[in-house]
Amino acid sequence: MSDRKISFLIHGLEGRGKSTLADQLPGPRLILDAEGGACEWTPSPKIWWEPHQEWPTEGITTDTTIAVLVKNWKTVEDCYARLNAGGHYIKSAAWDSLTEIQTKCRKQIEQVAGREMSIPLWGKLLDVMTESVKDWRDLRVHPSCPIHTMFTAISVQHDGRWWADIQGAAQRKLPTYAS
């Protein structure tokens, strides 16, 4: 069996099993729950965690999900920093979902700018999301603790095709960076 870690994006309609698939990644797994409770109904044992706390140590098995409620973009950044620092037992991590996490990133950009999205801010959103997805993807080759990474997204149909429901130019770019 190979020790090679994988990274991928999966999109589908709501209620089709994306969260359940994330919950089946090799564990212990970290799931960033941006949909406000998607982790609650998946079958693995859950430990809810805040990334500013120490990693949980009690009750951790290969079937444990460390669940993080993504309240804002900073939560995503903090989780990445903790994983990238190494010294953890996480085997897999998932964004559930990229659709919702992008919305949280957009809201932060609007808040910092003090205005709604404009062309330059859409460019900033694309840059921030692209770099973050690449950073998380590259955790698969982390020198001390590589992990599997998964990104879920809601699907939308337009122009006769199904797409990940991601705003702006990111809709075409981010799926290529996730794997």
Which whole number is the average pLDDT over 60-76? Answer: 95
Quote the pLDDT of residue 49. 95
Quote the pLDDT of residue 169. 74
Residue 40 has pLDDT above 80, yes or no: no
- Name which residue leads in pLDDT, 43 or 48: 48
Quote the pLDDT of residue 164. 80
Q: How far apart are CA 34 and CA 101, in angstroms?
A: 6
Q: Which segments of 130-177 are extended strands (E)?
A: 148-158, 161-164
Confidence category of residue 1, pLDDT binned at 50, 70, 90: very low
Tokens of 11: 């999109």
Place of tokens 């910092």: 112
Instruction: Please write the tens of the pLDDT for every residue from 106-161.
Output: 999 999 999 999 999 999 999 999 999 999 999 999 999 999 999 999 888 888 88
Neighbours of 104 (CB within 10 A): 17
What ranges in 9-160 are assigned the alpha helix state H?
Answer: 18-22, 73-84, 98-113, 119-137
Which whole number is the average pLDDT over 40-57? Answer: 89
As a dihedral over the C-alpha atoms of residue 92, residue 151, residue 72, residue 35, rounded to 10 degrees, the angle is -100
Do residues 105 and 125 lie in contact, with contact meaning Cβ atoms separated by under 8 Å?
yes
Average pLDDT, the chain: 90
* % of residues, the chain, pLDDT over 90: 69
Burial of 160 (0-12, 13-18, 19+ CB in 10 A): exposed
For residue 145, give the nearest of 94, 95, 83, 93 by alpha carbon: 83
Among 86-95, 122-131, 163-172, which stretch is predicted with the lowest mean pLDDT? 163-172
